[in-house]
Amino acid sequence: MKITLDNNLLIELGLSRLEARQKREVLERFNDVLELRVGSRIYRLMSDDQVHEFSAITHLDEEDASPNNNQEEGATWLAGVVPEHEIIVSQEFQHMKKYMQQRIPAIIADHDGPPSESSKTSRK
């Protein structure tokens, strides 16, 4: 399953009014949490040897510290070892969207910051 984290997702979540920097921050955080949630579920389904093999395919080569970004090979390998990985990705993506939708007021408030002094006095 190919998931795209972009402005369309922010529109769907009701976060289109955020500034560009804030949108990037929200999308980066969404991506980080999604990766952690998916990774933790998938890793629980694999043996230690499988985890190490998957890491060798998709992560840094410790010898020369150069990225080994063979995502296609990693996805193919993962499909053979954890065939339900796409279901897990979809479930966690939907869970994250639901969570974000519930937190929209807090997210907007966090990114709007405290009211300025001039807006405080104009409300009185």
Tell me, what's the pLDDT at 64?
A: 46
In a domain, 12, yes or no: yes
Tell me, what's the pLDDT at 58?
A: 81
Tell me, what's the pLDDT at 103?
A: 87
In a domain, 29, yes or no: yes
| Residue range 15-32, pLDDT digits in tens | 998 999 999 999 999 999
In a domain, 15, yes or no: yes
Burial class (CB in 10 A: 0-12, 13-18, 19+), 72: exposed
| Residue range 57-106, pLDDT digits in tens | 887 455 544 455 577 888 899 999 999 999 999 999 999 999 998 988 88
In a domain, 117, yes or no: no
In a domain, 103, yes or no: yes
Q: Please give the residue range of the domain that contains residue 105.
A: 7-109
In a domain, 119, yes or no: no
Q: Quote the pTM value.
A: 0.74
Concatenated DSSP letters of 7-59: HHHHHHHT-TTS-HHHHHHHHHHHHHHHHHHHHHHHHHTS-HHHHHHHHHHHS
Tell me, what's the pLDDT at 92?
A: 97
Going by C-alpha positions, the residue among 43, 34, 40 that lies closest to residue 93 is 34
